[in-house]
Amino acid sequence: MSDYLVEISGSTSLAQISLQVQGEEAGASEFKSSSVSFHGGRITNLATFSELDPGTVPEPITFLAHDAPLPTGAKIVWAGVMVVAGNTSALKASRR
């Protein structure tokens, strides 16, 4: 299965980033990474997803501030920088 890009607006809040990524994963995809990029004339987040086999839904993913405690039993699946609500922020993504 192939990888593809989606855009997560730089004006998106941290909580909504989690929901948007979960929403994308709900369609049998898996979040791999995100990078701050220039697209469509603006500074934004371009996230890479991998297509999974039909019918596959990954464990829920959550985005946290880089220094926030991890939920119990969760492991970090990605760490990096995203534009969150207009500000560049260091984040991590965790999954059980």
Partner 1 sequence: MKYPFLGVLMVVLCGCAGIRHGGAPKQSFDVNADLKALAKKYQEATKIEEFYAEPSDAKRNEFVSGRLVLINIRYIQFVREFTRERQFLDSAADLLMLSLNLAGAGTGSTEAKTILHSVAAGVGGAKVSIDKNYYFEKSIPALAAAMNAERAKVMVRIGEGMSKPLALYPLVDAIVDLQNYFEAGTFLGAINAIQADAGAKKAAADTEIALLKDLTPEDITGKQSLTRAVGALNDARKAAAITLLRSLGDALADDADLRTVKVKLQGKVRTARTPEQIADLAMKFKAANLLDATVNP
Name the site residues for partner 1 (rule: CB under 8 A).
5-9, 12, 16, 19-24, 26-29, 37-40, 46, 51, 54-57
What are 45's strand-pairing partners? 8, 36
The smaller minimum CB distance to partner 1, of residues 2 and 87, is found at 2
Q: CA separation (Å) from 22 to 27, 30, 58?
A: 9, 9, 9
For residue 62, with 0-12 CB atoms within 10 Å meaning exposed, 13-18 middle and 19 or more buried, which class applies? buried
The smaller minimum CB distance to partner 1, of residues 35 and 65, is found at 35
**Shortest spacing between CB 70 and partner 1, in angstroms:** 21
The smaller minimum CB distance to partner 1, of residues 45 and 94, is found at 45
Place of tokens 């603006």: 42
**Shortest spacing between CB 78 and partner 1, in angstroms:** 16
